[in-house]
Each structure stands twice: as structure tokens, then as C-alpha cells.
Chains A and B, each alone.
Chain A
């Protein structure tokens, strides 16, 4: 019963949401939607037990690729977005050869190095990447009229709907992947890699698969960003951004699909809206840092554990009510 009502209700809420927000909050909503895709794609990667520090650079690869495809080759924007995502996936494939020979801490640092090298290439070569200034005047999504609604993609509300669709479909795909035999093998590769290997699973191939798919979706989120703001530069995809993604995933928790999403939403609202409204400009990073420390010390299983706790209690109460009766 809940399932049948739940999804349409959620969809209706998501469609109505922007109209209850102020203009700047709508802008933040668009960025939030894009970041949800980014952090969920990161989670896909962590399913195999690997934590990368280059994920945000993959987002940048998609962004730069799509920007260049539209500017240099004049490709139609929605198509270039797909091509951008594919480019990110391909670059990930190439990187997987050296990187996936490493595991754990070494993979972490190796992915960081690879990411930084790519960023330095963007910074160094003004042609074609625009150097430190990056690329400006990226073509936006072409506006179109769908009869019942006129999509002006400058407007955050329109772009939000567009991003919602793209992100929604992507999340659904990733959800299905996780539920599929491929996804189950990801789990196996994480927790029991020796056993999996003994069972004939090509561990390396599965890790590559996860890395490539996750990077592809990260690239897609990058293209969404590029065609909204219209400008990208190497600093948009630096270690600071990666640290944010990392903390969203860890604070939210990666045991469930929705954990990182919760982390992303809660922390973004906190940082962009709550702390700004309170006017503590210089104190924002201080409070944010303290919150990170506290959440890791006192909520080690992540915010998702709070949600899981609430859900478990709801399930228990009718039963215990019956017992008492």
C-alpha cells in the first residue's frame, strides 16, 4: 500500500518543491540535485570497497568534454551531455589500467594523483582547456515548449525539472545495477574478494566495471553543471570539492543506497542555507568542521542509521502493541 502511494507522492512533492522556495534557494536546489547524482555515483564505486579521491575530477572530465563538444564541434546539447558522460567513462577505463592494480590506501592516493594530473593539464593548456580561467559561455540547454509548460532553461525551476529527470533515471539505473547479479558481485568483491576469486570471479574486471560506471555518472553530473552555470574552471573540481563529496558519503553512511543522498542534502542545506542565514560568514567553516567531527564521533554509522532506526521502530510498534494486547 505504502509503495503504491509512496512513489507518486514523492514525485508530486519533488515537482512542487521549487515553488515553495525563494529564488536563490531554487538555485541551490539545482546544485543539490546534481550533487545527489555525484554522490550516489560515488557510492556505486565504494560498493567494491574502493574509495577514490579522483571522483570529482571525473565529474570535471564530463563537464569539460561536453563543454568542448558543444563549443568546438557544435554538437546539440543533450547529446553532448551523453557524450560527456561517455568520455568520462572512457577516461576512467584508461585510468583503470594503472590505478586498479592498487588497493585500499594506495588506490586512494593513486586516484588523487591521477586526478591532480588531469587538473594540472587543464590548468596548463589554455588551448583547448582555457587554462586557469577555464571555459566560459558554454551553450545552455535549448529552451523548448512542451505545451503545458514552457521550459526556459535559464530558470532554475526548469533546469531543476530537467536535472530531476536525468538524475532520477540515473539513480534508477544505479539502483538496478546494485540489485542485479553484477551488483551482488560488487558486494562480494568488497567483502570476500579471495572467496570470489576462488569462485572464478574476475575481481579486477568487476572493480573496473564499477569504476567506469561510477565515473560515467559522475561525468554526467558534470555536464549538467556545465550547461547550467555556463562556465567551468579547474578550481570547480579540486580537492575541496572532493572532500565535500567524501564527507557527504561518510556522514550519510554508505551501507544503504540513500545514505549518501541524505548526507548530501543535510550537509548542503546546512552549509548553504542555515549557516549563511545565521550570518556567521567566517564561522561557517568552523561550524561545518565541528559538525563533521561530531557526526563521525557520535554517529559512526552515518545519518542513514538514524533513518533506519526510525523505520525499525515504526515496524516494531504495531507488533508490540499487539503483544501487549
Chain B
């Protein structure tokens, strides 16, 4: 009696369109006309946590995007085949909840008529995915671990978490070859686990020995003394902070300092490292390796960098939002650079056209240089833009880019190790429940 109708995508969309027209005809706000009207404005959806504990990965990105929009609009907007369009960002706070992400995606796409939706990803992507599939809308995420063979309209074009972490370890081994033992801790959540596997693979590739299993702590932890005590008991030479949020990085480093650690520290992020230095000391933080540069770094003015005016951007951001610069502040704006270039190349803002233009030739203009559309092995689909990534080291109290390392080259040498560790932690795309 119950039969799953094998409706093709085409007739599903037709039905959607028909339903939308009917609803539009009877609804108060005339929705269907807004979806079809182009007007002189292009709307970009920003679907991320803007309130709540995870908002640090969303709100600063929106702030960065506002700066980007101001600059682009001042320069005449986006130039498509049928004229210039101003850019407007429409934000929806999904509170890092998949149900609200779904509602938000529906609102942004079917009511606001956005051409592109940027998300943080993680827990919220599976909630929005059905809407993405049904509407064919182009989405971006900061977490490549959201990618899977069936996420054809999802791209991860900036943040290459967690695989960029291998660059830090590679640089470490090259420059400090006498450091041979390590320990690691991470928060037990969607962001912590994939990068644990990555760091393990990276350490193994360099012959660095893990003195203990990675210690996964509860994200609600505030007192890190027991965690640090446990790991320091092994007297490691390297202490790896995995992808801890700044709320964890700071107290953990403080504990390391107080408990007398004098070895190497490596981490994915070090937001507000100036505060960390204040809590510990310049000497303690000397040589701290992480992955996110300050955008006033002169190394970012090199030719191969594809971010527009990074120094000015940093300055403007700090002017508008003093003291708030963090890893996420520039990433969404960088995605917008990529989107704009592809839209202008295609001459249209239609998701399918933009995606095709972006992926043409298999290479793309990533913020840190020309990069490959990559990922089939790890994610099941080549929708991550992966190329070089900077290695940043704190020297004399300031973060400096020490070099750019190539992720695809590392993968060509050690890809199997990475796959082995990812599988062990259940992080391969075909293992995800």
C-alpha cells in the first residue's frame, strides 16, 4: 500500500515550484515572486551560530563578511552578465542546532532568495542537507568532514580542517628533529576527533612517538589541572593541543606553565595569543607552533596569496571590532572571494553555474595559493579546496608565518597513514553513521 515514489529530481522540483506558486498565491507575502526576481541585489545567506557557546565560530565570520561587502559594493559590486549587483548578507542564527539550521536554510533559500549559503557546518549540516538537496542550493562549510559522496552542492573551500594540521608537524620535525616524544589532548566533540586522527598520522609520519593515548576531555571542562597533570606525568617533549577552542587552549597553556612544562607546544589555533603570553610569559610561548596567521603578517603580501589586501582587512577588522580577531574572522570573506570570482567568470549567480565555474580545471584560487579540488579518498568527493597552508610560530611575542607547506604533497607521501588513523577513530566518510 505504501510505495516510495521514484520521483526524479526534475519532477520533484516541478512539484516544489507548483506548491510554491500555490502557496505564494494564497500567502500574504508573495514569496514566489521574491525567489524569481533578480533585482539589483544579490543576497548571500549566512547560516551559523550567532549566539550561544559556539558563536565564536560564526559571529566573527559575519563581521568579516560585512567588511568584505562594504569594499565590494564601494567598488561597484559584482559584475555579472546582466549588470552589476550589490551584495547583501542575510544572517540566520542556527544556535548550532540542526533543527534550527533546517528552518534557517528554508527561510534563506525559499523566502529570502539567496544565491549562496555559507555555514559553519558540523552538527548543523545534516539538518540543512535535505533542504540543500531539494533546492540544489550551493552551500559552503568550514568543516571538510561534512563532505560525503552525496553532498554534491557542498564545498569546503577555505578551512581545510583537520588535514592542514599536518603542515605544523612537518615543519616541527624539519626544524626541531631532536623532539621525539609527544602527548595530546582534545575536546571530545565533532571537531576534536578528526584532527586527533590527523595529528596521530602526522606524528607517526615523522617518527614521533606518542607516549599515551590522546586524552579526550569533556567540552564542559573548566579546570584543566587534572588533564595536564596526567599528560605531564609522562614527561613529553611535545604537547599537542589538537583543535582545542581558545576557551581550552588558554587554561591548558596556563596549567602547563604553572606545572612547570618547558617543552614544545603545538596547536591548531592560538586565538588571542597575546593574552596567553600575559598569562604565562614571552619565554614560555616562544616557539609555539600553530596554523593561523595574523593578517598583518608581511608574508601574506606575496603574489600567490589570493586574499585581497590582507593587511588592510586586518586593520579594518580591528578598528570595527577591537580585540576580536580570531581564526574565523577572515575565512568566510575568503570564501566570498572565491564565490565572486566564479560568479563573475560564469556571468551568473545560479548555484549550478557558479559551482561549475569554481571547479573548472580542477584547481581553484584558495586564499593561500592555487589549490586542488580534492578529497575523494578522505571524504568521498572532491569538494575540498586543498593546497598550501601556513605554519605560524610565535617569536618574541608575535606570530610569524615561517613557511607554507603543501598538503597534497604530504598526502602523496603519507596518505595511507592518515586513512588508517581516521578509520581507527571512525572518521572516514564511509564510517559515519
Contact = CB atoms under 8 A, between A and B. Distances in A.
Interface of A: 19-24, 26-28, 31, 71, 123, 126-127, 130-137, 140, 142-145, 150, 152, 154-157, 225, 229-233, 235-236, 272, 276, 281-282, 284-285
A26 B219 CA distance: 34
Interface in B106-151: 106-107, 110-111, 123, 126-127, 129-130, 134
Top 4 closest pairs, chain A to chain B, by CB: A24-B107, A231-B126, A23-B110, A27-B103
Interface in B1-47: 1-5, 7, 12, 15, 19, 22-23, 26-29, 31
Contact of A132 (B110, B111, B127, B189): B189
B51 A285 contact: yes
A56 to B, nearest CB: 13
A281 B93 contact: yes
B188 A23 contact: no
A211 to B, nearest CB: 27
B356 interface: no
Contacts of B193: 131
A202 to B, nearest CB: 40
B27 A19 contact: yes
Given A19-B26, A152-B12, 17 more contacts: A19-B23, A20-B27, A22-B29, A22-B111, A23-B111, A31-B103, A136-B433, A137-B433, A143-B4, A143-B5, A150-B15, A229-B127, A230-B127, A231-B123, A231-B127, A235-B123, A272-B103
A230 B93 contact: no
Contacts of B3: 142, 144-145
A20 B29 CA distance: 10
Contacts of B22: 19
Counting chain A CB atoms within 10 Å of each CB, which of B4, B31, B111, B219 scores highest? B4
B9 to A, nearest CB: 12
A276 B103 CA distance: 12
Contacts of A282: 51
B98 interface: yes
A281 B51 contact: yes
Contact of B99 (A20, A132, A236): A236
B432 interface: yes
A270 to B, nearest CB: 15
A132 B190 contact: yes
Nearest to A27: B103
A35 to B, nearest CB: 11
A256 B1 CA distance: 40
A229 B102 contact: yes
A132 B103 contact: no
Contact of B188 (A20, A24, A131, A272): A131
Contacts of B7: 143, 152
A130 B103 contact: no
B107 A281 contact: no
B104 interface: yes
Counting chain A CB atoms within 10 Å of each CB, which of B19, B104, B126, B189 scores highest? B126
A132 B54 CA distance: 14
B160 to A, nearest CB: 19
Nearest to A134: B123
B347 interface: no
B31 A133 contact: no
Contacts of A155: 19
Contact of B104 (A19, A24, A233, A236): A24
B31 A23 contact: yes
Nearest to B219: A132
B126 A236 contact: no
Given A155-B19, A281-B51, A27 B433 contact: no
Given A20-B28, A126-B426, A150-B5, A230 B130 contact: yes
A150 B7 CA distance: 11
A317 B278 CA distance: 73
A127 to B, nearest CB: 8
B5 A145 contact: yes
A171 to B, nearest CB: 22
Contacts of A23: 23, 31, 106-107, 110-111
Nearest to B108: A24
Contacts of A126: 426
B62 to A, nearest CB: 10
A235 B31 CA distance: 33
B344 interface: no
B97 interface: yes
Given A155-B19, A230-B127, A284 B51 contact: yes
B183 interface: no
Nearest to B101: A229
A135 B433 contact: yes
A143 B7 CA distance: 10
Contacts of B12: 152
Contacts of A28: 103
B50 interface: yes
B50 A281 contact: yes
Contacts of B29: 22
A133 B123 contact: yes
A144 B193 CA distance: 39
Given A71-B433, A281-B51, A136 B103 contact: no
B31 A137 contact: no
Contacts of A152: 7, 12, 15
Nearest to B104: A24
Given A230-B126, A281-B50, A24 B4 contact: no
Counting chain B CB atoms within 10 Å of each CB, which of A21, A132, A225, A230 scores highest? A132
A31 B99 contact: yes
11 contacts: A19-B22, A21-B27, A22-B29, A23-B31, A27-B103, A132-B189, A136-B432, A144-B2, A157-B19, A230-B127, A232-B98
A301 B29 CA distance: 37
Contacts of B219: 132
A230 B102 CA distance: 10
B104 A132 contact: no
Given A22-B29, A28-B103, A142-B4, A154 B98 contact: no
Given A27-B102, A136-B432, A236-B98, A22 B188 contact: no
B130 A154 contact: yes
